[in-house]
Amino acid sequence: MRTSRRRSRLLGAAAAVLILSPLAVALPAAADPAQPDGVDCDAVAWMDESASAEDRAKALVDASTQHQIYRWLAEQPANAPQQTDFDGVAYPAQVPCTPEVVYTDGPDGVRFTEGVTAFPAPISLASTWNTDLAYEKGQMQAQESFDSGKNGVLGPGLASGRTPLSGRTPEYFGEDPVLTGQFTAASVDGLHEGDPRKPVLSDLKHYIANEQELDRETSSSNIEERAFHEIYALPFEIALADSEPSSVMCSYNQIGGVYGCENALLNEHLKGELDYDGYVVSDFGAVHSTAEALMNGLDQELNRPIHFTPEKLDAALAAGEVTQDRITSAATRVIAAYIRSGVFDTPLSETPSVATSAENKAVAREIAEQGSVLLKNDGMLPLDLAEGQSIAVFGPAAAVQSTEGVSASSVCSMAWAFGGGNTLTCEDLVAPLEALEAAAEDVGASVVYNPGTDLEAAADVAQSADVAIVFGHQRMGEFSDLDDLSLQDGGDALISAVAAVNDSTVVVLNTGSAVEMPWLDSVRGVFAGWLGGEQFGPAITALLTGEANPSGKLPMTFPRSLEDVPTQTEEQYPGVVDEAGIRQVDYSEGLEVGYRWYESQGIEPLFGFGYGLSYSEFEYSKVRVTPRRSNGEREMSVRFRLTNTSDVAGTEVAQVYVTLPDSSGEPSKRLIAFKRLELGAGEHQNVSVRLSAKDLATLRALQYWDEDVEGWVTPSGEFTVEVGGSIDADHSAEFVVR
Ligand code: BGC
């Protein structure tokens, strides 16, 4: 159902001044635990826990000098209240009874810290389609941050999956706004709703249209207004409706020619339309001005003060370029968010402790298990391990597991062959090879390992083995995009060489994004295990051997080839550098991002959105939709029967998609709801998914952004609901909205 795109307004207009910001690794602000002696914190108004966060923040601002107020406007002076010099930028000490705060990345877990859990990357978490796990991980991440002396978590991360080449794809939740919005909200809730004695700040990053790493600081994302709202802003809108992140981080890139951290979108969209009442913090070095940034809605500069120094703020105020109201509002937003999160009332412990635990590791393993997606099974899986059997294992990722990506997406890092990364190791990491060896030993089978660097030697080993398991990898993360969708370090050639001599070859992928699979027909099974964290070894072994039954589903489309992706032209990706040195990236695919593109263009992907196999088999039937109104709100129940037709108990992620009436101009169906359902062998369940327009994600899935009215509109006419185990769901029912 392809419809012609209307001429659309582009967001933003004004040209921005280009200032290149050097990027290094953000260091936590220097800590100084001391509060001035002799102050009774119970007696100061901003520590009155019975007052609202806003009143407490106001009381604090009222008790502050102008330069004490300025301290809240940059990370280091805000977070180290008694320190007075920041690389030559001087402040008075902060008013007493204000907390020390230490920021830390990020999406995966607590960064650059010994003794924490290396959770699987968020793309793996999203593949579980289990928001309870996102919530649990959030709670554990908060606890681990706090226990290791950090109480400001710069995460979760979210984006819209515009191109699978984007370096930070593993840090985000895939390509669907509803799935991403819900995983983001669950992560934020988890961060704030864990142990109240261990409070942390949370941060949604990066706002907005931060869809590539290539020239991320000197590129402009040029988006039509409708796609902006439906694709790029919607995950933020859902997350903000369903959770209360302390801050939102504005991104490096420009949007419509204006840098993210001085873009009118901050006031007009984020704080206006979305009614966000927390604070906006910049990405590291993403601020380019004082007055423009502050007046357009930036509240706090990350790291040390460069543009929000007392000197520059005083000058801007004297020149009438900024207002006192805006300065006060920025400080109040920061303070109120700190108070709401609990960091004012529960100080960091002076003696950080080991943060990880068996319980946290069990959740890391659960995510790796539920988040690994079985993409192909030609009857060979689960492996039937037996006495005397020989199993050949290939690839460096098997032996020294690639737990994570680069930079903000890393916690501990592997000391494996690819260089880069940090130097910490995951003490409790069990590589897949080790876990497979243990499983083989239990039944008297044997494992032989070959790194796969010499293809002939690998083929020799493969030839004499009963089963070959090849681990392919793609290491990716911050700072650069992928060049292509092939496996790194010769992984594709290794798989082909092994499969050519062993017709019982299974592939395990440790990647952060989609990959092409030129060898797919020659192998018997494929798992997408992502960057699966420290417990990936035991998790994938359990899945390969059938001790666990796969239930993961793809949160992003895997195209057959890079040529098929939505960004077809150079103007779309990577963009074209203009005379001013800005890479203009034209989001002309509009709404056709992710599966919406493949659906509308009729391009068959290698594996579609939502796809994933199980050792069980599921059948959908009797789909019915009953729309109704309850207290004036639109509601509907989607009912269907799910039958496990196999003799293995398993879990299916049932997905509900909705197609809007043609008049909406939507390119394809879209995800509206999903549910994980556990079914015993041969069991069936009559499932009812109740959807209410009171829930923002549901409401928006039934609407489109109308540029003429500049708002969301529910079209009238016939809607089709489809239910199934992937985007290819074909059990449908209709309902009409009048
Ligand atoms: C990243 C952010 C991160 C910040 C601080 C930047 O390079 O883009 O995601 O929070 O560094 O480490």
CA distance 50 to 263: 37
Ligand 1 pocket, 283 CB below 6 A?
yes
Ligand 1 pocket, 26 CB below 6 A?
yes
Angle of CA points 699, 704, 709, to nearest 5°: 115
H/E stretch holding 636: strand 633-644
SS3 131: helix
Q: Is the pLDDT of residue 606 over 90?
A: yes
pLDDT of residue 173: 98
Task: Tell me what the mean pLDDT of segment 593-604 comes to.
Answer: 98
Ligand 1 pocket, 111 CB below 6 A?
no
Exposure b/e, 462-476, CB count within 10 A at least 16 = b: beebbbbbbbbbbbb
Closest CA to ligand 1's atom 7: 284
Q: pLDDT tens digit string along 452-494?
A: 999 999 999 999 999 999 999 988 888 899 999 999 989 999 9
CA distance 735 to 186: 30
Closest CA to ligand 1's atom 12: 26
pLDDT of residue 28: 37
CA distance 336 to 399: 48
CA distance 194 to 141: 9
CA distance 616 to 674: 19
Q: Is the pLDDT of residue 443 over 70?
A: yes
CA distance 252 to 543: 40
Strands in 633-644's sheet, in edge-to-edge order, are 618-630, 633-644, 684-692
Question: Measured from the CA of 252, which atom of ligand 1 is nearest?
Answer: 8
Closest of 277, 410, 305 to residue 73, by C-alpha = 305
Global pTM reads: 0.94
Mean pLDDT, rounded, of the chain: 91
Q: pLDDT tens digit string along 150-177?
A: 999 999 999 999 999 999 999 999 999 9
Question: Please, what are the domains in the chain?
Answer: 358-545 (3.40.50.1700), 618-737 (2.60.40.10)
Strands 717-724 and 731-737: antiparallel
Closest CA to ligand 1's atom 11: 284
Strands in 670-679's sheet, in edge-to-edge order, are 670-679, 650-659, 717-724, 731-737
- Detail the DSSP E strand segments found in 155-283: 203-207, 219-222, 247-250, 254-255, 258-259, 279-282
Ligand 1 pocket, 394 CB below 6 A?
no
pLDDT of residue 331: 98
| Residues with catalytic function | 283
pLDDT of residue 33: 39
Looking at 296-407, list the stretches that DSSP marks H as alpha helix, in order from N- to C-terminal side.
310-318, 324-341, 358-371, 396-399
Question: Measured from the CA of 154, which atom of ligand 1 is nearest?
Answer: 10
Q: Is the pLDDT of residue 29 over 50?
A: no
10 Å Cβ neighbour count for 730? 9
pLDDT tier for residue 414 given thresholds of 50, 70 and 90: very low
Backbone angles phi, psi at 191, to 5 degrees: -60, -35
Q: Compute, in angstroms, the gap from residue 408 CA to the centroid of ligand 1.
A: 6
Q: Compute, in angstroms, the gap from residue 342 CA to the centroid of ligand 1.
A: 23
Burial of 417 (0-12, 13-18, 19+ CB in 10 A): middle
Q: What percentage of the chain exceeds 90 in pLDDT? A: 82
Q: Compute, in angstroms, the gap from residue 118 CA to the centroid of ligand 1.
A: 18
pLDDT tier for residue 424 given thresholds of 50, 70 and 90: low
Q: Compute, in angstroms, the gap from residue 345 CA to the centroid of ligand 1.
A: 27
Structure tokens at 272: 């206006």
Question: Measured from the CA of 302, which atom of ligand 1 is nearest?
Answer: 5
Mutate to test the pocket of ligand 1, among 283, 287, 304, 406 (most ligand atoms within 8 A of CB): 283
Closest of 514, 513, 524 to residue 470, by C-alpha = 524
pLDDT tier for residue 410 given thresholds of 50, 70 and 90: low
pLDDT of residue 35: 61
Q: Compute, in angstroms, the gap from residue 356 CA to the centroid of ligand 1.
A: 23
CA distance 356 to 430: 15
CA distance 20 to 641: 57
Q: pLDDT tens digit string along 210-266?
A: 999 999 999 999 999 999 999 999 999 999 999 999 999 999 999 999 999 999 999
